Amino acid sequence: MKKYISVLGILIICISNVSVGHAATPSLLIAFEKEGFLWIEMNGKQEKITTERAEFSYPPQWSYDGQWLLYQKLSTETPNPNMEKQNELWVYNLKKKQHKKIFYNGENPKWSPTQNIVAFTQRGVLNISDLENFHNIALGVDDYSWFPDGKSFIASSSATLRPDGWTNPVLYKIAVPEKLTNTNLMSGQRIFVIPKELTKDNVKVMSINVGSFEFSPDQKWISFIVSPTASLSMDSNMLCVLSSDGKQFDVIDEVILQLDNPQWAQTKNLLGYIAGGGRIVFGFKNKDLKITELPVFITKGFTPPNFAEMEFTWVGDDEVVVSRVKEADWSNDPRKRPKASLYTINIKSGKQSRITQPNPNYEDVQPQYVTATNQITWMRKKNTAIKGDLWIANPDGKKSKRWLNQIGHYAIFPH
């Protein structure tokens, strides 16, 4: 009898330790989309915060203090059946549990890093919403980003085609007025004119659009991507940096837009990026993780031969986790495409280790470092799937567990 009780106890313990689709992580705050609804997990408890099924076009975004959630959803109705669905901008207040639509058709929304106001664009107009009203800030804006102090924007105007050829893209600094009602739409300060053509080694790129702005940890450098026309940008773009005073401009390397954006290390001026031209349908090749140190401009590569990087995340200043595949030709059959796994790289020692082993039918993508708990998350999904399971582990891959199953877009509050 005692033997049977012992066996039963062991079975109960084993079953209780098996993840069945949700492993609570009480110290993290996350918003995610599942089956057409938005959910929040806070203090280990999940809550569905939307009641009507919707199509969420982009990942949600947390405000700087975690009190508000910004999300975008496609409208269910359009004024004209031939028109595209409008991209509605909404915010949700966690304390009041209230939703509010802040704009009917906005693009590229971004929270201020210092207060609960949202910037967004609409047909080239840069706007700010104080969550009650919106205010026009600048005209002719292609892309933008907040300065870290929240007092101004770095913004670009795209090149335009004229009878004598293309003009230059231009970078501006646009101040945020203390009172949003006191705006001057022509107050942008020109800080740099991008050359009409950029060259790196034997690659040349025509300068049309500028975007993906990121500030270095010490705020002395701004990284961004310069792109040619839409079709050409599938194959080749240039990663560049500009000193924050606009005096020093450098072309770093060739990149494509379909992979992860360049990212700075946590506290050091180390710029990581996936280098290499050529769209993925030409093959999973020539996609190498490189890191450039500024201001000395020393670049080092970390991808071994016969492999290609798809995505990456910094873990502090000395380690990187990459989503990596074996080099291969493109196949129209998803089953024949290479499947990604996660690897950790120590950039000081050069030591690299594979840290995940997904089932052959699955791959591990979208690695993300969570500073608050010193963990990494990633999505495990089938090659062509939009949704997948969210996993969490230590940065070395140990103590891994499935956190959420079959979710879409998500956002973890970083603090």
Task: Give yes or no: residues 94 and 115 share one domain.
Answer: no
Task: Give yes or no: residues 375 and 414 share one domain.
Answer: yes
Task: Give yes or no: residues 411 and 355 share one domain.
Answer: yes
- Strand residue runs (E) in 194-318: 197-200, 203-206, 209-215, 221-227, 237-243, 249-255, 263-264, 270-275, 288-293, 298-301, 307-315
- Domain boundary (298, 333, 355) is at 298
Residue 5: the pLDDT is 40
Q: Is residue 230 part of a domain?
A: yes
**What tokens were used for 283?**
């093959």
Nearest to 135 by CA among 88, 111, 91, 103: 103
Query: Which CATH number does the domain housing residue 415 bear?
Result: 2.120.10.30
Read off the pTM. 0.91
The residues with which 155 forms a beta bridge, in sequence order, are: 144, 172
Q: Is residue 15 part of a domain?
A: no
Query: Do residues 73 and 56 touch, judged by C-beta distance below 8 A?
Result: yes
Task: Give yes or no: residues 315 and 376 share one domain.
Answer: yes
Task: Give yes or no: residues 288 and 219 share one domain.
Answer: yes
Give the position of tokens 């508000």: 68
* pLDDT digits (tens), the chain, 415 positions: 444 344 334 443 333 333 334 444 658 999 999 999 999 999 889 999 999 999 998 999 999 999 999 999 999 877 677 778 899 999 999 999 999 999 999 999 999 999 999 999 999 999 999 999 999 999 999 999 999 999 999 999 999 999 999 999 999 999 999 889 888 888 899 999 999 999 999 999 999 999 999 999 999 999 999 999 988 898 999 999 999 999 999 999 999 998 999 999 999 999 999 999 999 999 999 999 999 999 999 999 999 999 999 999 999 999 999 999 999 999 999 889 999 999 999 999 999 999 999 999 999 999 999 999 999 999 999 988 889 999 999 999 999 999 999 999 999 998 7
Residue 226: the pLDDT is 98
Residue 14: the pLDDT is 39
Give the position of tokens 């080092």: 300
Count of C-beta atoms within a 10 Å radius of residue 149: 11
Q: Is residue 118 part of a domain?
A: yes
Task: Give yes or no: residues 121 and 167 share one domain.
Answer: yes
Q: Is residue 41 part of a domain?
A: yes
| Residue 113: strand, helix, or coil | coil
- Domain boundary (176, 193, 210) is at 193
Question: Residues for the chain: how many in total?
Answer: 415
Q: Is residue 261 part of a domain?
A: yes
| Residue 4: strand, helix, or coil | helix
Residue 183: the pLDDT is 83
- Domain boundary (103, 122, 152) is at 103
Q: Is residue 9 part of a domain?
A: no
Q: Is residue 16 part of a domain?
A: no
Q: What share of the chain is helix, strand, coil (3-state, %, to 5)?
A: 5, 45, 45
Task: Give yes or no: residues 210 and 259 share one domain.
Answer: yes
Task: Give yes or no: residues 310 and 411 share one domain.
Answer: yes
Task: Give yes or no: residues 386 and 414 share one domain.
Answer: yes
**Structural domain harbouring 183:** 106-193
Q: Is residue 316 part of a domain?
A: yes
Task: Give yes or no: residues 246 and 217 share one domain.
Answer: yes
Residue 26: the pLDDT is 57
Task: Give yes or no: residues 287 and 218 share one domain.
Answer: yes
Task: Give yes or no: residues 262 and 292 share one domain.
Answer: yes
Q: How many domains does the chain have?
A: 4
- Strand residue runs (E) in 298-374: 298-301, 307-315, 319-326, 341-346, 352-354, 363-370
| Residue 63: strand, helix, or coil | coil
Cis bond leading into 295, ω under 30°?
yes
**What tokens were used for 79?**
């004024």
